[in-house]
Amino acid sequence: MRLISSRSATPGVARGGATNDRHRPEAAAHGAAPPGRPWARLLAGALLAAAGQLVWATDAATEAMQAAYEPYRAALFRTNSKSQAESERALAAARAAWKQVRERFEGKAPPPYDRDPRFAATLAAVDAAYANAQSQVGQKELARAHETLEEVRDLLGELRRRNGVVVFSDHVNAYHEQMERVLTEAPRWLAQPAGLTELAFEAGALDHLAQRLSAEAGVLRDDAAFVAALKEVQASSARLRAALRAQDAAAARQALGELKPPFSRLFLRFG
């Protein structure tokens, strides 16, 4: 895998890691969710940090971590679906995959992570999160385990940000965070006289991030299943914007309820 970053050449992103596709970091950062939101900030920070250096690397560590991210997504999905047996199996597979990453790289970090003094500690922190989640699943506390597993995503995102690495998962995470903000705050906004206007602003940011998923998909654009899944995500955000343009609160509430299912399907397979 080739990572390219400089003032004139910046890292592209695709499933499993960066590719040699080119994109402009300022475009990814501009127009995303407001700066107080961690994932938008992490994504913008990684892109801008990468813009100031030149890296040509065969990044085995990022490739391995992204491969281990697939069973992680399954574990996150299963613990949220409240299935005890499936959660146990998925979490065991995710932790086993991470154990291989840790054993392979903890003793000697490859570029671009070789200058990160916190690299080994981050690998250990991810394993600790898995251990906590397994204990919680064993106690049938699936909701707590799901929250604990969210820490893994944050730890890996911050690791990449510190080292100027951007993968497609970072763009998916930025969309996810804005979607959760919209879903959490929408009831309060819709109860206020000018709430539709505030919701429309936030829905615009969500729709922008949905469109960025197309721009940053890299080789995934050749995958028909991905294209279909992404179209569903983009259609769901477009329905919300259409309802808000029409100032139709009832249609907006319906559209809000239709945001999560297509995103969950995209995340599970490609996030």
CA distance 119 to 265: 31
The arithmetic mean of pLDDT across residues 64-80, rounded, is 93
Tell me the average pLDDT of the chain: 80
Task: Answer with the one of 104, 136, 162 that is the final residue of a domain.
Answer: 162
Question: What are the Cα distances from residue 169, in Å, to 10, 86, 137?
Answer: 17, 24, 25
Task: Answer with the one of 162, 187, 220 that is the final residue of a domain.
Answer: 162
In this predicted structure, what is the pLDDT of residue 220? 87
The arithmetic mean of pLDDT across residues 90-95, rounded, is 96
Higher pLDDT, 61 or 271: 61
Residue 44 lies in a domain: no
* Of the candidates 131, 80, 143, the residue with the CA atom closest to the CA atom of residue 102: 131
Residues 97 and 158 in one domain: yes
Is residue 259's pLDDT more than 60?
yes
Residue 88 lies in a domain: yes
Higher pLDDT, 10 or 119: 119
Locate 236 and state its tokens: 């769901």
Residue 25 lies in a domain: no
Q: Which domain holds residue 179?
A: 168-270
Residues 234 and 185 in one domain: yes
Residues 196 and 151 in one domain: no
Residue 1 lies in a domain: no
What's the number of domains the chain is made of? 2
Q: Which residue has the tokens 């994932």?
A: 39
Locate 142 and state its tokens: 């699936």
Residue 80 lies in a domain: yes
When mean pLDDT is compared across 115-119, 150-154, 212-216, the lowest value belongs to: 212-216
Residues 75 and 151 in one domain: yes
Highest mean pLDDT: which range of 94-103, 189-198, 212-221: 94-103
Total-model pTM: 0.72
* Contact status, residue 182 vs residue 203, Cβ threshold 8 Å: yes
Residues 175 and 145 in one domain: no
* Contact status, residue 3 vs residue 55, Cβ threshold 8 Å: yes
CA distance 239 to 236: 5
What is the tens place of the pLDDT at every residue in 147-200? 999 999 999 999 999 999 998 999 998 999 999 999 999 999 998 888 888 899
Higher pLDDT, 27 or 59: 59
In this predicted structure, what is the pLDDT of residue 192? 86
* Of the candidates 244, 213, 178, the residue with the CA atom closest to the CA atom of residue 15: 213
Is residue 8's pLDDT more than 60?
no
Is residue 132's pLDDT more than 60?
yes
* Of the candidates 193, 270, 181, 191, the residue with the CA atom closest to the CA atom of residue 225: 270
- ∠163-169-175 over CA atoms, to 5°? 115
Handedness of CA 31, 33, 39, 42 (dihedral sign): positive
Higher pLDDT, 114 or 50: 114
Residue 19 lies in a domain: no
DSSP assignment string, 37-55: SHHHHHHHHHHHHHTTS--
Task: Answer with the one of 136, 162, 188 that is the final residue of a domain.
Answer: 162
Sequence-ordered list of residues with C-beta below 8 angstroms from that of 45, at least 6 positions apart, any chain: 161
* Contact status, residue 57 vs residue 3, Cβ threshold 8 Å: yes
Residues 219 and 203 in one domain: yes
